[in-house]
Structure 1
Amino acid sequence: MAKGFYISRNMGRFGLLMGAVALVTIIALSAVYDKEKKKNKLVYGVGLVTTTWPTLSLTPTPKNPWNLYRLPDALAPVTYNITLWPRLQVNQDGLYIFTGQSAMLFECKKQTDLILLHSNKLNLTLINGKHARLTGMDGAEAPAIQNSWLEGETEFLGELADDLEGFYRSEYTEGGIQKVVATTQMQPTYARKAFPCFDEPAMKAVFHVTLLHDKGTVALSNGRDIEIINTTINQTEVTMTRFEPTKRMSTYLLAFIVSDFDHLTGSLESSVLVRIWARRKALADGQGEYALNVTGPILKFYERYYNASYPLSKSDQIALPDFNAGAMENWGLITYRETALLYDPEISSVGNRESVATVVAHELAHMWFGNLVTLKWWNDLWLNEGFASYVEYLGADYAEPTWNIKDQMVLYDVHKVFAVDALASSHPLSRKEEEVNQPAEISEMFNTISYSKGAAVLRMLSEFLTEPVFARGLSSYLNEFAFHNTVYTDLWDHLQKAVISSPEINLPHTVHDIMNRWVLQMGFPVVTIDTTKGRITQKHFLLDPDSVVDRPSPYNYTWFVPIKWMKSGEVEEQHWLLQKAEIHSPMVTSGSEWLLANLNVSGYYRVNYDLDNWQRLLNQLDTDHTAIPVINRAQILDDAFNLARAKLINTTLALRTTRYLSQERNYTPWESALRNLNYYILMFDRGPVYGPLQAYLKQQIRPLFDHFRVLTFNWTRVPTGHTDQYNQINTIYLSCKMGVDACQDLTLSWFRNWMMHPYRNPIHPNLKTTVYCNAIAAGGVREWEFAWMMLRNSTVATEAAKLRSALTCTKVPWLLNRYLEYSLDPAVIRKQDATSIISSIASNVVGMPLAWDFIRARWNYLFTEYGRGSFSFSNLINGVTRRFSTEFELKQLRQFKEDNAHIGFGSGTLALEQAIEKTTANIRWVQDNQQDIINWLNTECR
């Protein structure tokens, strides 16, 4: 059993009356069960419960079931009645606490001699040592536990800690007054920290929630409030808010919040109440307006897309000062980081605005897909998150049609996840249930594979089915399984029915046969097209071709691959590659024409060509790059660089794809190029290659810098196009980094002008991130201290995030070390931001060794605070090791793994294995390619 995970704690003990004999038994046990279990006794806090069972003919209970992570399936919850009272002031012991009462009705599905619940004994204690009570329906004597309906009650007390899990507290200062918010994060396994429950996604129930809270505060939960009264309890005046019963739902979607927040109100045509909640000053400054404006249109879009009405009476969305994830799809009460929901049009950037639209669209998508119909167990998390990550682009595109945001999915998800899924240590989208039990294993599932690969393969599925057929299958699926749980094959069933009813769709196999190959085996193929021989082949693409794949594949790493073609600008019919190789295919014999496969990157695979076709594509880019679709220009760059890393083409061929960039003005190819060239920067910015690389990139970016200087009338205006604004940001970033003098002078002058006039920032919101970083990197202590002061005074979350990141850019080591120390002080840096600061410092070439030393010295503390279940913990390991490319660093990494094995790596376990794998590959790649790269760069620089 993993250290730090607790399940079925004896906080929920009940005294059980069994039929006429009225014998005492146990109804809740601890998974961290001590030696007393061998004596058939349960020791907890105050008192001793002795277990005695009547003689019944029962299904045998598994041996030591309290030592298992999963609950038995004999019982199913029906309803909960929960009353919680969070105290927003410290008690006499200096603690924030909450008290509660919980009563549940549950059904006995199978005969059993044991009742287990989840409860975290480190967070909950029974009040006055009271045992819980079990009765039959409506208070009747409890029958034998056999096909019965039973009721149980318990009272408990817990700490309202600042650990960002379960029922926790968030603190902020407004108007000079320290304020506390009581809020929740139940996903994936934290509901048990708030009250005893059946804390598994398949164990859905109806929840009746009542919150007691200080007068003058407001209480929120999943349902609308139906009664608010002022009362006195134990001589304390409080407000009691009772909420309408929830729909049948999972515990991880529950939310309870007590705060001093204000709200904005809107509604749908169907009279669904829509509200945005946040700090009063944030709303008074207009930061909630944009989220309110996009929520209605996005909800309407999903109602049409799913062909199902929004299933609840209200949609609350709330921005929290302290929140570990980006957002959480609690049904009817979605919680967000402030940066993910609040947008200030005067201070926030175009990227902040897009983030609000896409995150809101992602969470609202879950209201149907994930909440209405829910995964059975966490091994299928991709079904929830991959789907929401796909349709968020559809929802955001509906709300902001001029952005053309759907095309950006190739950059944000497809290319992003390729980098992870090309590792031998990757994993399938759907894992076996037994592989995902411990909390760290569950948290590990909240990764790029589940979100981005899930989105990419669903996008591919939608492309070859067509969006109308895909949407019909979704609607059928959602309507059949509403308020229940599913596995991913249930979705295939309904999509296949939609295909059968659509004669225009001609698939070579069933949806099951096609998609299981993408879901049940890890990785993806590289499709190689030889236009000289008319031959098409596929094989498992590995970034390090020398790595060993230990995970067996049920399909021998062969996929059914949909291929869309283009020959010299003419689109061809879709083709399916159904085996390892096709010989003499007339479709790919192109003669003197260039051939391009995977049109618009609708398929989840990479493409390689024979050298002749590569040369034709490169010639086309040099002469008229606009003849190739913009997404595929980005694809050519990304495929080429990664094919070179996998030793399938020469590295110089990959570099050759960047020659034409001096003529490119579009954001998407430039962004693709920068992401791949960043790997070269990381590998070489400490060695002799960096000088020639910097000179070459300076040469390539200067025309784009001049283009935007003219377009913006010498940087006094903002480009009108959405992606043009992004491209301007990238242009200034790379130009300054590569030493374009005019860029460095520009950014430093803007920043120092701001220093002279702190209350009149001359830097456009779009450019703040890159300007702040470049100015602090070029400056010294004075610039850093100014940015730190502005961070401490900032009241806008997006502005604070930019400053927090920019402070990691300094080249002064003692400042970076001081900032590292700050990161672990919750009084200075919020806990939600600690790991991202450390990772950002590690991305700084000066800060990387400092961050690495810091992490190794404080691993025990970092693991205790963040590693047991934090979704962001793997990012810490990835961030600090991504520059590792020497034998010495590999040795350090392996020593780190050995030295801390007794502590553990929690949700970063897979990330550590991948870091070792990537470092090994980096070492080999640098050794094999360094000299060729120097020679090519020296030739190209002119």
Structure 2
Amino acid sequence: MGKKTLVSKGLAGIVILLAATTLASFVALFVDYSQYRETHNATVAPEDIPTSTTPTTPWGQWSEIRLPDTLAPEKYSITLWPRLTPEPNGQYIFKGSSSVSFRCIKKTNIIVIHSYNLNLVTFDGFHAKLSGRDVPSQPKIKSTFFTKDTQYLTVELKENLIPDKLYDLYTEFSGELSDGGNGLYRTEYMEKGKKKIMATTQMQPTSARKTFPCFDEPSMKAKYNITLIHESNITALSNTQNISSAIKTLEGGRRRITTFEGTEKMSTYVLAFIICDFKMISAADERGEVRVWARTSAINDGYGNYSLLIAQKMTVFFESLFEEDYVYRKADHIAIPDFYGGAMENWGLITYRETALLFDANISSLADQEYVTSVVAHELAHQWFGNLVTMNWWNELWLSEGFATYFSYFGVNAVESSWNFKDFMVHKEVYRAFSQDALSFSHPLSSPDKEVNTPGEIDLLFDHISYSKGAAVLRMLSYMVTEDVLLRAVKDYLEILRFKTATSKDLMDILNKTLNKNQDVTLPAEIGVILDRWILQMGFPVVTINTTNGEISQKHFLLYPDSVVHRKSKFNYTWIVPITWIKSENAQSMMWLWNSTEIYSNMTSNTTDWVLANINVTGYYRVNYDMSNWQKLLGQLQSNHSVIPVINRAQIIDDSFHLARAGKVPITLALNSTKYLVNETEYLPWKSALDNFEYLSLMFDRTEIYGPMQAYLTEQVDPLYNFYQSLTFNWTQRPEEFTDQYNEVNVLSIACNSENEECQTLATSLYSQWMSNSSLNPIHPNLRTTFYCTAIAAGGVKEWDFAWKMFKETNLKAEADKLRYAMSCSKYVWILSRYLQHSLNRSMIQESDFVSTVAAIASNVVGQSLAWDFMQTYWREISKKSHSGLLESVTRRFSSLMELKQLEEFIQDNKGSLESTQTLQQIVQRTKENIKWVNSNREAVSNWLLAQTRPDAN
């Protein structure tokens, strides 16, 4: 944490005085609220509140979705009282007041500020009070009114505001403390058999306006003074440390009023407030304090200890790496029991899903530990990227999410160096980005800002492009200019733009200046010229190398090559591509591909030499070759695969399968790339193969091809199974190496899923032992997902009901999630149908787990049609909540004309309640392409598999 000076007594006095002034007005609100409610229904939507007068000026109807550039906020003073007990009508509410000080930038006679689903108190017929500072006369309000589409409160004035003068807009309001997962909302959880309620926030991207009237755009940074009113026996948290706490009588009860230090200048979306009955553990040094908060029982069980340790280490590491101190004197990390996302980087008060923060070495798996470590690293990186320096507008979200994703790998490496975690970036980010960026409906890292306006358009940007492609392009950049030079530019970027906002152009300008100081880096053009092609246009190239004549070409790679690309590019979908390559076992070389096609004679090869490009997949592109070179590479894998770097062994498999799906190489070539795996012991190539066989499984697990496919995988994995059986002393110990532990899980997953009798006996035997003594689980945490699933699939209702019982009893969410997934593995239709019904009951399955539960059932071939029928039957109820991704998950297996017809009918019947048009188009397109691909490749896949496996295996 950054070294900070304590707030002086004088400054603290001013802060408290400001809070007290706001509080005095706020308390008055509660005295008058019962009278106000008599004339204004507390549940009325803001667009239905009558306007005080009709606006008459041309400015009165500001219809743009973006705020005008006439005003700039400087400071908010906000008081909020979330009610954790329901009103007589059963509704939960919050009340509040806010005073925002803003500066007039340009002469205007309207104030446009965001306000959505808030009920505002009227003062003399208007929904706000306005005063000016050091102005000749106080401004007078002419009218106030709401606009639904733009989510604005507009204050129309009788005269213009004066440029460069400060004004204060005061509002009092109430709103619903819903369970919707955004804005200021409530979440319910069980603690030792007792239901508890807490209030928390999720402002990103556009939900601060649901909590208080505000200039709710990332560039509208301001400082905040926060006061929270709550029950005296529970805790209030916000972005900064509390500086005062007092008990007062309000509405006939004793309430605690907690006031916090003023914040630094920041965007509305990283503001946070929490009222909870949680416990915390902390660690402090001269920099400040790190605290981990969670349910009392979770803290008592030690589930927060690991995250506290790594959070403190990572904060110190990032301060050193960026040469920029963490801003606040405290950093809170808090686990929310029912949280919709993974985590949220609120400055100084980071919120997490429980599985992303809580860990127990005795119960949690290595994958759980990796997830916690990665998410904490990502959110801490955000304290610099996103919070300290913020993208100017959502169209460049990658400047926040891409940077946080990229540097999260540095953070993980700093606390768990033995994992060599940076090597995982290819699998976890590059290939994840490829999966979306190869579609015709992808988008650039930096879209034109006019394309990103509405909350719905903004929401769509929180995807693999902004996160994973952003990280992948930064990784490629680090290899272009060296990691040291990139870090130097990043430090300059943070220093120059501290507390400000940034665009991609700002980043390019700073990179250019840094490179000009480092003459050792040689590039074929200015860095902005190179990077613009990767940032300003969507997609990526497939580089095709013909080793017979040295021709190298690039083409926009599309997974569905016949699809229409709706977005034009001024670069005509060509890139300046950094190509690293080796010829057989020679030293690595480097070249740049500028044009669609070039001749590079050095890449020609003789009858024995092979060429391998994109070494360690440092470039963001796929590679194709002439068939002769493909055969040489596959031959090298068969004869001595260790000659080829491990990341490139995984690349050969992944590129060949995706090229086959795009029709650029035969599917048999891709399948041939897996034959050498019988000799492979490394994790990344096996993971690549299994990820790609997953698609084949989805397409063929309801056909006669599935049996030979499982038989082939079993034959390939047998040597690896024997290797790990020996390494682990017949599965009684775990491998020491990070990747070996993951590969052991791969081996057992394949074996058990392929009905390997020995594997299934091991899984069911250990599960049976656990059923006999539920207090002692003999299954190692790493193997629980696989063995739970295997035992439940092999068993019946007794095994399922035991899993349900343990699911309800466990105190660790990561363990609950393993059981929740495993229960979807049952082969009994009636059990899965019952499970789907359970998913609708919030006392059984939390709202935030609904989609993943139904998706897990749909991933089971027995549960596919059940999940589809269930979703259609209950869509009216389901669609009331934000369940994005459900339709995409349930229809992944669709690959027939009948399923396409059902999908199109469902979309037609439910137009008004479905996701974005773009998402629906992608789902329909995927189904059509699945049908086409299966029809074209079914016979070839079947014949190849039958030729590879023993007749008795089929």
Question: Is TM (by shorter chain) over 0.5?
Answer: yes
- What is the aligned partner in structure 1 of residue 557 from structure 2? 541
- What is the aligned partner in structure 2 of residue 156 from structure 1? 173
Tell me the secondary structure at the aligned position of residue 564 of structure 1.
Answer: strand
| Stretch moving more, 320-329 or 537-546 | 537-546
- What is the aligned partner in structure 2 of residue 742 from structure 1? 758
How far does the alpha carbon of each residue in 1:221-272 deviate from its partner, in whole angstroms, 9 at most, with x for none? 001111122222233211111111111001100000111111111135x422
User: What is the CA-CA distance between 1:584 and the residue it aligns to?
Assistant: 4.3
| 1:99 equivalent in alignment to 2:92 | no
- How many Å separate the matches in 1 of 2:162 and 2:880? 42
Change (3 A) 1:818 1:124: farther
| Stretch moving more, 647-656 or 169-178 | 169-178
- How many Å separate the matches in 1 of 2:606 and 2:236? 67
Change (3 A) 1:391 1:316: same
- How many Å separate the matches in 2 of 1:693 and 1:714? 26
**Alignment check: 8 A CA contact 2:114 2:213 kept:** yes
User: What is the CA-CA distance between 1:52 and the residue it aligns to?
Assistant: 6.7
**Alignment check: 8 A CA contact 2:727 2:735 kept:** yes
Report matched runs for 1:652-801 at 5 Å: 652-801=668-817
- What is the aligned partner in structure 1 of residue 943 from structure 2? 935
User: What is the CA-CA distance between 1:49 and the residue it aligns to?
Assistant: 1.3
- What is the aligned partner in structure 2 of residue 263 from structure 1? 280
| 1:126 equivalent in alignment to 2:136 | no
- How many Å separate the matches in 2 of 1:456 and 1:542? 18
Change (3 A) 1:91 1:140: farther
- What is the aligned partner in structure 2 of residue 838 from structure 1? 854
- What is the aligned partner in structure 2 of residue 197 from structure 1? 214
- What is the aligned partner in structure 2 of residue 443 from structure 1? 459
How far does the alpha carbon of each residue in 1:20-50 deviate from its partner, in whole angstroms, 9 at most, with x for none? xxxxxxxxxxxxx99xxxxxxx9864x7512
User: What is the CA-CA distance between 1:514 and the residue it aligns to?
Assistant: 0.8
How far does the alpha carbon of each residue in 1:132-184 deviate from its partner, in whole angstroms, 9 at most, with x for none? 21111289952441313111111111221111111111122223332211110
| 1:64 equivalent in alignment to 2:81 | no
Letter in 2 for 1:926: V
Report matched runs for 1:624-643 at 5 Å: 624-643=640-659
**Alignment check: 8 A CA contact 1:637 1:658 kept:** yes
User: What is the CA-CA distance between 1:282 and the residue it aligns to?
Assistant: 0.6
Tell me the secondary structure at the aligned position of residue 269 of structure 2.
Answer: helix
Report matched runs for 1:39-188 at 5 Å: 45=49, 49-51=52-54, 61=59, 64-65=61-62, 67-121=63-117, 123-126=118-121, 131-137=127-133, 142-143=138-139, 144-147=160-163, 148-188=165-205
Name structure 2 gaps, 5 residues minimum.
1-24, 26-43, 140-159
Letter in 2 for 1:187: Q
- How many Å separate the matches in 2 of 1:405 and 1:903? 41
- How many Å separate the matches in 2 of 1:76 and 1:132? 18
User: What is the CA-CA distance between 1:442 and the residue it aligns to?
Assistant: 1.1
| 1:828 equivalent in alignment to 2:844 | yes
**Alignment check: 8 A CA contact 1:142 1:150 kept:** no
Letter in 2 for 1:50: T
Change (3 A) 1:44 1:590: same
Change (3 A) 1:64 1:614: same
How far does the alpha carbon of each residue in 1:384-406 deviate from its partner, in whole angstroms, 9 at most, with x for none? 11111111111101111000111
- How many Å separate the matches in 2 of 1:180 and 1:43? 29
How far does the alpha carbon of each residue in 1:316-370 deviate from its partner, in whole angstroms, 9 at most, with x for none? 1100101111000000000000000000111000011111111000000010111
Tell me the secondary structure at the aligned position of residue 287 of structure 2.
Answer: coil
Letter in 1 for 2:61: N
**Alignment check: 8 A CA contact 1:130 1:155 kept:** no
Change (3 A) 1:877 1:43: closer
Tell me the secondary structure at the aligned position of residue 452 of structure 1.
Answer: helix
- What is the aligned partner in structure 2 of residue 580 from structure 1? 596
**Alignment check: 8 A CA contact 1:877 1:911 kept:** no
| Stretch moving more, 668-677 or 438-447 | 438-447
**Alignment check: 8 A CA contact 1:808 1:844 kept:** yes
**Alignment check: 8 A CA contact 2:343 2:352 kept:** yes
Equivalent in 211, 214, 220 of residue 228 of structure 2: 211
- How many Å separate the matches in 2 of 1:48 and 1:926? 59
**Alignment check: 8 A CA contact 1:529 1:588 kept:** no
Tell me the secondary structure at the aligned position of residue 446 of structure 2.
Answer: coil
**Alignment check: 8 A CA contact 1:79 1:207 kept:** yes
User: What is the CA-CA distance between 1:610 and the residue it aligns to?
Assistant: 1.4
- How many Å separate the matches in 2 of 1:710 and 1:440? 53
| 1:274 equivalent in alignment to 2:290 | yes
- How many Å separate the matches in 2 of 1:377 and 1:641? 37
- What is the aligned partner in structure 2 of residue 10 from structure 1? none
Tell me the secondary structure at the aligned position of residue 52 of structure 2.
Answer: strand
| 1:811 equivalent in alignment to 2:827 | yes
- How many Å separate the matches in 1 of 2:195 and 2:692? 46
- How many Å separate the matches in 1 of 2:452 and 2:906? 25
User: What is the CA-CA distance between 1:912 and the residue it aligns to?
Assistant: 2.1
- How many Å separate the matches in 1 of 2:869 and 2:947? 39
Tell me the secondary structure at the aligned position of residue 116 of structure 1.
Answer: strand
**Alignment check: 8 A CA contact 1:429 1:454 kept:** yes
Name structure 1 gaps, 5 residues minimum.
1-13, 15-32, 35-41, 55-59, 868-872
Per the normalisation by structure 2, the TM-score is 0.90
- How many Å separate the matches in 2 of 1:140 and 1:805? 67
How far does the alpha carbon of each residue in 1:596-643 deviate from its partner, in whole angstroms, 9 at most, with x for none? 110000001001111221111111111111111111100000011111
How far does the alpha carbon of each residue in 1:658-678 deviate from its partner, in whole angstroms, 9 at most, with x for none? 111111111110000000011
Tell me the secondary structure at the aligned position of residue 161 of structure 2.
Answer: coil
How far does the alpha carbon of each residue in 1:715-749 deviate from its partner, in whole angstroms, 9 at most, with x for none? 11011011111111111111111121111111111
User: What is the CA-CA distance between 1:576 and the residue it aligns to?
Assistant: 0.8
- How many Å separate the matches in 2 of 1:43 and 1:416? 41
**Alignment check: 8 A CA contact 2:52 2:126 kept:** no
Report matched runs for 1:320-335 at 5 Å: 320-335=336-351
- What is the aligned partner in structure 1 of residue 900 from structure 2? 890
User: What is the CA-CA distance between 1:591 and the residue it aligns to?
Assistant: 5.2
- How many Å separate the matches in 2 of 1:533 and 1:43? 68
| Stretch moving more, 283-292 or 737-746 | 737-746
Change (3 A) 1:827 1:350: same
- How many Å separate the matches in 1 of 2:138 and 2:913? 45
**Alignment check: 8 A CA contact 2:406 2:475 kept:** yes
How far does the alpha carbon of each residue in 1:639-693 deviate from its partner, in whole angstroms, 9 at most, with x for none? 1111111121111111111111111111110000000011111110001111211
Letter in 1 for 2:463: N
- How many Å separate the matches in 1 of 2:222 and 2:895? 51
User: What is the CA-CA distance between 1:862 and the residue it aligns to?
Assistant: 2.5
Tell me the secondary structure at the aligned position of residue 758 of structure 1.
Answer: coil
- What is the aligned partner in structure 1 of residue 14 from structure 2? none
Tell me the secondary structure at the aligned position of residue 163 of structure 1.
Answer: coil
Percent same amino acid among aligned pairs?
50
- What is the aligned partner in structure 2 of residue 57 from structure 1? none
Letter in 1 for 2:189: Y
- How many Å separate the matches in 1 of 2:135 and 2:453? 36
- What is the aligned partner in structure 2 of residue 918 from structure 1? 926
- How many Å separate the matches in 1 of 2:632 and 2:290? 55
Letter in 1 for 2:886: L
Aligned residue pairs total 886
- How many Å separate the matches in 2 of 1:469 and 1:742? 53
- How many Å separate the matches in 1 of 2:632 and 2:209? 61
- How many Å separate the matches in 1 of 2:411 and 2:528? 27
